[in-house]
Structure 1
Amino acid sequence: MRITCPICGERDRREFYYRGAAVSAPAEGAGDEAWHGYLHLRDNPAGPVEEWWYHQHGCGSWVKVRRDTTSHEILAVQLAATQGGL
């Protein structure tokens, strides 16, 4: 699998560290149920998902990757800074 870093260009996925699904954390003051759902009840869809990846062996940027889980095709990549961070 190849990921196109917006700064470095196309790279092998082994240069990147996978953080997980790009989902928003519950708001400050959210109850236990909201946090339980965020931490433990994740979907595992077949098809396009958004994920956080860190370019560990490259420029050190966090990128948001839209990837198809059935084919591993990379559909889009954006810098985390343009997405409001992690």
Structure 2
Amino acid sequence: MLIPHPLLGPRDAQEFTYLGDAALLDRPDGMASDALDAFNDYVYLRENPAGVHRELWFHEQGDRSWLVVTRNTVTHEILGAELARDIAMRNKTGAP
């Protein structure tokens, strides 16, 4: 499986380590009044979808970047990849 790295081009999936659901980027606020429940859900409740899903991949044997890969979990087709830091910055600023 080839992952389309946004900076380096197509890379073999063996260069990467899979972490899981990209929703992990949306970490709860530890100071919120419902932080205990929010962190319980964040740590223990995971989706296991069949179909298009966004996942975190770490380019361990490359430039050590984190990617959010959009992949169809049924066909393993990769639909795209973005740098996780770009997504995190967009989420912070509220930009589309």
Pair in the same fold by TM > 0.5: yes
- Equivalent residue, structure 2, for 1:7: 7
Q: Percent of counterpart pairs with the same letter?
A: 41
- Equivalent residue, structure 2, for 1:67: 71
Tell me the TM-score normalized by structure 1: 0.88
State whether structure 2 residue 90 is matched by structure 1 residue 81: no
Please tell me the root mean square deviation across aligned C-alpha atoms, in Å.
1.4
State whether structure 2 residue 21 is matched by structure 1 residue 21: yes
* Superposition deviation, residue 81 in structure 1: 2.2
Structure 2 unaligned residues grouped into runs of 5+: 90-96
Tell me the TM-score normalized by structure 2: 0.80
**Match for 2:38: what amino acid?**
A
**Match for 1:11: what amino acid?**
R
SS in 2 for 1:84: helix
The 5-angstrom pairing of residues 33-48 of structure 1 reads 33-48=37-52
Higher helix share: 2
Instruction: State how far apart, in whole Å, the 2-side matches of 1:26 and 1:72 are.
Output: 30
- Do the aligned partners of 2:29 and 2:35 also contact (CA within 8 Å) in 1? no
Greater Cα shift, 23-32 or 42-51: 23-32
